[in-house]
Every structure is written in structure tokens, then in C-alpha cells.
Amino acid sequence: MDEAALATHGLTHYFNAFRALDDVSIKVRRGSITGLIGPNGAGKTTLFNAITGGLRPGRGKVTLAGLDVTGQTPDRLFASGLGRTFQIPRPFSRMSVLENLMLVPLSQIGERLGGPFLSRHAMRVQECTIREHALEVLDFMTLAPLADHPAGKISGGQMKLLELARVLMGDPQVILLDEPAAGVNPTLTGTLIEKIEELNRQGKTFLIIEHDMDFVMRHCDPIIALAQGRVVFEGTAAEAQADPVLLDAYLGA
């Protein structure tokens, strides 16, 4: 079996004449929590978008467990086991926290079970199952007490937990997190890390964009650094800490 849960092969992308991704080949090892770092404008979000289907790369390939998934829509990728959170959470603000979770899989699961041809009874059964699953996921993410709160009224940190909870509804094997710790208080960051590590122990693979170097050095291994659209470093946290270019650019040495 391919040991890379996710890989990119020579991804190159231009915005007009500007090369945002330049021959980016990375491997995200199955079962790893891989950190993706780099200064603003390095191409991290563009890489996430090219992997998760928001952007069709000009050149190159994306593989998920060895299968070519280049250019597939985010919905299809989600159904294939690739989940992604955004830097700025995007919940449906007026809906409750629970409803936000229940929305996620309807299209996916409906598709798997036969979509428009489901009987009314099958739909009811499906809805109950989804509700139960959503409550379990909320419980796991410590959000159960907020199940009936409008999603727009919870704190920024709780919204980040909600984002991850929504992703978990699809039971993805590979999860991409875009700055999970940004703007989150230390207590909720602690909860988030605990959950990421627990999910990782259950076998889920993570690729995480994060600016908080303490977070990256403690919890991510290996670490990949991008600068000006190119991979400039790939190695362990210890190697990153000893790399003069990275030290200078990111670690404030």
C-alpha cells in the first residue's frame, strides 16, 4: 500500500503571470500530523485549494492513497475521505450547532444510499442516524452543551471546534486544517490539540497550516516549509530547529 495518504506531484499554478505554486511535490505520510509552514504569500492556501478541489491546478497531480483525484470537486473529495477546515470558519450562523453538523453529510450519504430514490421511511431512518452521529461527534468535540445554540453566537474558538466537527461527520481519513490555533484561546487550543492527537491515534492523517511555531514544533512531524511557491524544507521538528534558513525566516532567531 502507498505509504503516502496524500501527495502532490509537480503542482504548478499561475495567477495571471504570477507563479503561486512552483513544481510543488509533497508526500503526507499515512498516520502523520504534517505541518505546513511558510511566510504570508508563500502559497500555502493555494496549495490547500489545489488539493481540496477549490482550484484546478495549472499543472501537476494530486493523489489520495495513490489514486489520482486532481481537479475533483470538494464534495467528491469529501466523499472520498478528504476533509478540510478553513482559516475563517464558515458556519450557517442562524442554524444551531447541531443543525450545522446534520447538514454536512445529507448530500454525501444520500448519494451513497441512492439519492432521490430513497423511500420516505429510509429518509427518516437516515435522518435519525445522522442526528445520532452528529450528537456523538459533538460530544467528542466537547460541544454537546452548545448543540442548540445558534452557530453564529458561539466563540471564535468554539467555531474552530465546530469546523473540525463538521469535517468529522464525513469520517475522513485525511484532514487538512487551515490555521486551527489562530485566534483561539489557550484552553480551547488545548482541547483542539487533544482531539487532533486522539483522532491521529485512531489512524487519521493531518496536514496542518499553522503560524504558531510552538504548536508546529510540538505537535507536527514532519514539517514542510514553502516559500515563494516552492518547497524549501522537509524534515523533522528537530531538523527544522537546526536549519539556519528556517531559523532566520520563521523562528525569530
Q: Which helix (H) or strand (E) holds 112?
A: helix 97-113
In whole angstroms, give the CA distance from residue 102 to residue 89. 17
Q: Is residue 88 part of the contact set for ligand ADP (CB under 6 A)?
A: no
In whole angstroms, give the CA distance from residue 252 to residue 223. 17
**Sequential DSSP letters for 40-107:** TTSSHHHHHHHHHTSS--SEEEEEETTEE-TT--HHHHHHTTEEE--SS----TTSBHHHHHHHHHHH
Nearer to ligand ADP by C-beta: 43 or 105?
43
Q: Is residue 81 part of the contact set for ligand ADP (CB under 6 A)?
A: no
Residues in region 11-30 near ligand ADP by CB under 6 A: 15, 18, 20
Q: Which of 7, 11, 24, 42 binds ligand ADP (CB under 6 A)?
A: 42
Nearer to ligand ADP by C-beta: 41 or 190?
41
Stretch that binds ligand ADP, among 33-41, 94-102, 128-136, 181-189 (CB under 6 A): 33-41
Q: Which of 2, 3, 25, 41 binds ligand ADP (CB under 6 A)?
A: 41
Q: Least distance to ligand ADP from the beta carbon of 84, Å? A: 14
Among 20, 71, 52, CA closest to 177:
52
Q: Least distance to ligand ADP from the beta carbon of 23, Å? A: 15
Reading the block at residue 200, the C-alpha cell is 491521529
Give backbone dihedrals phi and psi of 151, rounded to 5 degrees, phi first: -60, -25
Q: Least distance to ligand ADP from the beta carbon of 205, Å? A: 21
Stretch that binds ligand ADP, among 24-32, 39-47, 106-114, 124-132 (CB under 6 A): 39-47
Among 21, 24, 27, CA closest to 6:
27
Nearer to ligand ADP by C-beta: 45 or 100?
45
Residues in region 147-206 near ligand ADP by CB under 6 A: none
Q: Is residue 40 part of the contact set for ligand ADP (CB under 6 A)?
A: yes
Residues in region 91-110 near ligand ADP by CB under 6 A: none
Q: Is residue 89 part of the contact set for ligand ADP (CB under 6 A)?
A: no
Q: Cα–Cα–Cα angle for 16, 17, 18, nearest 5°?
A: 95
Q: Least distance to ligand ADP from the beta carbon of 128, Å? A: 40
Q: Is residue 46 part of the contact set for ligand ADP (CB under 6 A)?
A: yes
Q: What is the rounded end-to-end Cα distance, in angstroms, of the chain?
A: 41
For the CA atoms of 228, 234, 236, 237, the dihedral, rounded to the nearest 10 degrees, stands at 0
Q: Is residue 50 part of the contact set for ligand ADP (CB under 6 A)?
A: no
In whole angstroms, give the CA distance from residue 34 to residue 153. 32
Reading the block at residue 208, the C-alpha cell is 496542518
Binding site for ligand ADP (CB under 6 A): 15, 18, 20, 38, 40-46
